[in-house]
Amino acid sequence: MTKLDVQKVRSHFPSLETGYIFADNAGGSQVTRGVVDRITDYLIHSNVQLGADYAISIQSTKRVAEGVVAAQQLFNAASVDEVVLGSSSTLNLENLARGLESDIKAGDEFIITGDHEANAGPWKKLAQRTGAVIKLWEATPTSHDNPYSVALKIEDLLPLVTSKTRIVAFTACSNILGTLNPIAEFTKAIRKEAKEKGAAKVEISVDCVAYAPHRRIDVQAWNIDFCVFSLYKVYGPHMSGLYVRKAALTSSVSALTHHFLPVDEISYKLQPGGQGYELVYSITDLVPYFQSLTPENTLEAGFAAIAEHEVTLMKPLISFLTEQKQWDRGVRLVGVPSTSAVDRAPTISFVVVGEKAMSSRDVVRVFDKKGQVGIRYGHFYAYTLVEHLSPDMDTADGVVRISLVHYNTVQEVERIIEILKEALGV
């Protein structure tokens, strides 16, 4: 396997030249130089409305279409007609829920997780509008010693599946826990259980917002119906992509668009209005960027190299946080302490409890005073998950989160650990 050339990676990101350590990447990554260049180039040379017959409009239409193709490749969707672009993942899923409303009946059951509200809130509101029932698939402890070491488990899910199950919505990776869930395994088990219990129609939605920066999405291999991720967390513009399987487009989803548009079998039916054309065009930089990370020049090889480097970043930080000295201090890792590329992404959260408990805010304040390093505290829109971690948990204070990506360096991790030692007094 080709190792990642981290300095070459960093040369693609102009913002890294400042020397600032960006360690809140799960909230939004830095963008590649190619994305910036494409936005500028579009606005200067092709900033006109689409669909006209004059030359610049033809060029503009072609550029925007190329951006949708790039999003299709990032999903590994079968067709561009299965891809919706919107301003955020929350908005995309809200629109999806609105489009499904006429296909939902009272008593239908939605199984959701609580580790990202974008993937939970739209289904809750859809249930309120239609009389459907919400069931929560909770992340439960994996360790007797650490109640904060929680994860989604298939054995907790399957009893929730009944003949009335209609939607199952879960995260591919929690933006607090960092666990990489076995999506294909979950999906296979859900479909098998639903069939055995006589569920007539089950559609599966997977939230890849915290997954997409770290691993290759493959909606076809996963056999799912809906998928969403945020391009602004994948080194691109502030946009989101939504995948809707063609079967769902034709049998489940009603159009949100103008009545006269011929959109019955295409994803545009969930895209009421055009998106920022310059942003859509800028997506075209992302596929060649990921391909350029290795000599193989493929997305698969690029993401494999990313995974290997992320293990290098995770190991020293998780090792520090789980040392006996930190345990005695009251540090508890939130999530599973694995450093395997199969098991987790370098999104690492913790709390400080016990006799010398510290608020998450106070830990982060030490970093803010030092300057030049950005980390964060809070619930990170995983409100339900944080609320259930402990009866004493202040959801506003939440957890301390350090979220790394492949442009971070081992030296940056070492600096983060130095400040953590000072903050914790160890």
d(CA 253, CA 14): 41
Q: What is the pLDDT of residues 154-211, one digit of tens each?
A: 999 999 999 999 999 999 999 999 999 999 999 999 999 999 999 999 999 999 999 9
390 by DSSP, 3-state: which? Answer: coil
pLDDT digits (tens, 9 = 90+) for 300-318: 999 999 999 999 999 999 9
Token readout for 348 is 């690492």
Residue 109: CA atoms inside 13 Å, Cβ hemisphere, count? Answer: 14
Contact 27, 404 (CB under 8 A): no
Strand partners, 22: 374
Helix (H) or strand (E) segment spanning residue 204: strand 203-207
CA distance 408 to 391: 35
Which pLDDT does position 1 carry in this prediction?
66
Query: What's the pLDDT at 391?
Result: 86
Cα within 13 Å of Cα(31), Cβ side: 19
Cα distance between residue 401 and residue 358, in whole Å? 14
Domains of the chain: 6-31+296-424 (3.90.1150.10), 44-288 (3.40.640.10)
- Give the model's pLDDT for residue 422: 97
Binned average pLDDT, 10 residues per bin, the chain of 426 residues: 91 97 97 98 97 97 97 98 96 97 98 94 98 97 93 97 98 96 98 98 98 98 98 97 96 90 80 92 98 97 97 97 97 94 95 96 98 96 93 93 98 98 94
pTM of the model: 0.96
Which amino acid appears at position 7 of this protein? Answer: Q
The residues, any chain, with a CB within 8 Å of residue 288's CB and separated by 6 or more, are 34
pLDDT score, position 268: 85
Instruction: Fill in the DSSP letter of residue 260.
Output: T
Q: Which residues pair with 203 in a beta bridge?
A: 167
pLDDT of residue 426: 85
Closest listed residue to residue 278, CA positions, set 14, 50, 13, 83: 50
Task: Specify whether the CB–CB gap between 336 and 151 falls below 8 A.
Answer: yes
CA 328 to chain centre: 33
pLDDT for 274: 83
- Is-contact 289 407, C-beta < 8 A? no
